[in-house]
């Protein structure tokens, strides 16, 4: 298939949508030596994006990471374009427009009409089905997901997403190309939340449930997870991400899995969002923040923490969260949606976990995890804690 050979180093790339993600992706591709055409539906956005890219490159130059010649060459490779109709012939088009299926389908239709049949068409969608975006297009095999993380110049992970009609050769070529950009690709199926946004769900959900049940206060729960090596606790992290943003991702995964109870959003988070307590950005979320942005009442209860850790799994924040993360990860692998190594790579690079959940599960022991989940399922029936059948086998 021709698309495999067109995705080479230095081949022309177009980026559609010059918002937060599109600008960052354009910077990454241009830094890697590709001529990049950048377009947005709204006038003035591309110029702003280019100014932002220059600022970002200047900061890299100031730190000595790139030379001034590299800075100039990178900026020169980026061409602002006024309309889709004016994009040059490209080996790869990466779409980073707003997260809406109809918008993306209309755009892909137009791109398919204007670009060669060999042009690889990639979407940066976080939550839409890649197969649905490709539906009805000529050569749907060249449509894939390239899910960058925010901010693209900094985050190493890229999920290379296989839609139901994506060609394996295109997936492989795209993963190879992304590697030449200094990124680490992981390949996964177009499953709700892909790898990172799926496997991470219980990290937030379990802490919210324990907080609602009065197991401990927020600061103590966060301290428990930090003691296991997580950079931030789940509750402080959702305050940083934004409760609204985190709820939207969780709700999307829940809806797309046919409202699987495993992903049901909590009443607590829905109430926070309804009350406008969105986290740091609104001055209040799970925590309240002083005007300087420091959390109030964030002192963990050390005695309670010591009591919980190593106790029954229902009230051990670490064991309970890890059991659910391991379950989610082995299930994804078991369904054939991603390889075990890619799941661990995705979670360590995409969310900064101290260890991949597959490796962590092997350390804890899958039989132990299965027993913990069975105990949780007895304590909280309803399907959320049903153990993956893979935990009783040797598959993951
Ligand atoms: N923000 C993140 O953290 C993040 C991370 C990964 C993936 N994504 C995904 O990346 C995509 C873009 O997200 P963002 O945060 O950069 O959004 P954004 O709102 O910052 O930028 C989107 C840009 O697309 C433009 N646009 C909208 N429709 C267009 C069209 N038909 N043609 C050309 N331009 C159009 C808008 O004018 C806007 O400038 C979404 O699909 C989102 O889900 C976002």
pLDDT in tens, 107-127: 999 999 999 999 999 999 999
Whether 141 and 288 map to the same domain: the answer is no
pLDDT for 393 equals 62
Q: Can 197 be counted among the known catalytic residues? A: yes
Indicate which CATH number applies to the domain containing 262. Answer: 1.10.1040.50
Q: Which of 189, 213, 233 finishes a domain?
A: 189
**pLDDT < 50 stretches in the chain:** 1-4, 395-396
Are residues 222 and 364 both part of a single domain?
Answer: yes
pLDDT of residue 224: 98
Q: Which residues line ligand 1 (CB under 6 A)?
A: 16-22, 40-42, 45, 96-99, 103, 107, 124-126, 148, 150
Closest CA to 238 of 182, 286, 274: 286
Q: How far apart are CA 326 and CA 370, in angstroms?
A: 10
Confidence (pLDDT) at 297: 85
- Which of 375, 371, 361 shows the shortest CA–CA distance to 329? 361
- How does 145-168 read in b/e, with b if 16+ C-beta sit within 10 Å? bbbbbeebbebebbbbbbbebbbe
Quote the pLDDT of residue 113: 96
Tell me, what's the pLDDT at 23? 98
Are 179 and 319 in a shared domain? no
* Shared domain check, 202 and 180: no
Report the C-alpha gap between 96 and 68 in whole angstroms: 28
Catalytic residue among 14, 197, 327, 388: 197
What domain range includes position 260? 198-385
| Residue 1, pLDDT score | 43
pLDDT given at position 293: 87
Which residue of the set 14, 127, 147, 246 is catalytic?
147
Query: Is 221 found in the same domain as 160?
Result: no
Q: What confidence score (pLDDT) does residue 251 get? A: 97
Asked whether residue 129 falls in the same domain as residue 181, the answer is yes
Residue 101 lies in a domain: yes
The number of distinct structural domains making up the chain is 2
Q: What pLDDT does residue 2 have?
A: 44
What is the Å distance from ligand 1's center to 241 Cα? 17
For residue 18, the CA-to-ligand 1 centroid distance in Å is 7
CATH number for the domain harbouring residue 168:
3.40.50.720
110 and 202, same structural domain?
A: no
Question: Shortest CA distance to 38 belongs to which of 60, 18, 58, 68?
Answer: 18
Is 109 noted as a catalytic residue in this protein?
no
Of 166, 189, 212, the residue that ends a domain is: 189
Residue 390 lies inside a defined structural domain of this protein: no
């Amino acid at each position: 298939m021709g698309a495999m050979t067109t995705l080479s180093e230095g081949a022309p790339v177009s980026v559609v949508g010059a918002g937060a993600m599109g600008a960052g992706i354009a910077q990454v591709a241009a830094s890697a030596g590709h001529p990049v055409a950048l377009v947005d539906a709204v006038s003035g956005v591309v110029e702003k994006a280019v100014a932002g890219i220059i600022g970002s490159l200047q900061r890299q130059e100031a730190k000595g990471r790139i030379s001034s010649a590299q800075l100039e060459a990178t900026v020169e490779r980026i061409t602002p374009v006024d309309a889709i109709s004016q994009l040059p012939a490209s080996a790869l088009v990466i779409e980073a427009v707003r997260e809406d299926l109809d918008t993306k389908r209309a755009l892909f239709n137009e791109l398919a009409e204007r670009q060669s049949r060999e042009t690889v068409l990639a979407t940066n969608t976080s939550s839409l089905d890649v197969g649905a975006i490709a539906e009805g297009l000529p050569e749907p095999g060249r449509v894939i997901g390239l899910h960058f993380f925010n901010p693209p110049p900094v985050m190493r992970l890229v999920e290379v997403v296989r839609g139901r009609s994506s060609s394996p050769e295109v997936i492989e070529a795209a993963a190879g190309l992304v590697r030449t950009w200094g990124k680490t690709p992981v390949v996964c199926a177009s499953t709700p939340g892909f790898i990172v946004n799926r496997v991470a769900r219980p990290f937030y959900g379990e802490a919210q449930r324990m907080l609602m049940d009065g197991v401990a206060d927020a600061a103590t729960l966060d301290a428990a997870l930090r003691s296991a090596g997580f950079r931030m606790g789940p509750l402080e992290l959702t305050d940083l991400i934004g409760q609204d943003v985190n709820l939207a991702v969780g709700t999307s995964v829940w809806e797309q899995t046919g409202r699987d109870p495993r992903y049901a959003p909590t009443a607590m988070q829905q109430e926070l969002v309804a009350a406008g307590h969105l986290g740091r950005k609104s001055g209040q979320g799970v925590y309240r923040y002083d005007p300087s942005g420091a959390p109030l009442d964030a002192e963990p209860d050390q005695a309670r923490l010591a009591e919980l850790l190593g106790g029954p799994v229902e009230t051990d924040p670490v064991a309970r969260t890890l059991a659910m993360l391991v379950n989610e990860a082995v299930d994804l692998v078991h369904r054939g949606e991603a390889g075990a190594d890619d799941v661990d790579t995705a979670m360590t690079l995409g969310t900064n976990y101290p260890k991949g959940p597959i490796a962590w599960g092997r350390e804890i022991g899958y039989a132990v995890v299965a027993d913990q989940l069975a105990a949780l399922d007895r304590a909280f029936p309803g399907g959320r804690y049903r153990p993956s059948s893979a935990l009783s086998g040797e598959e993951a």
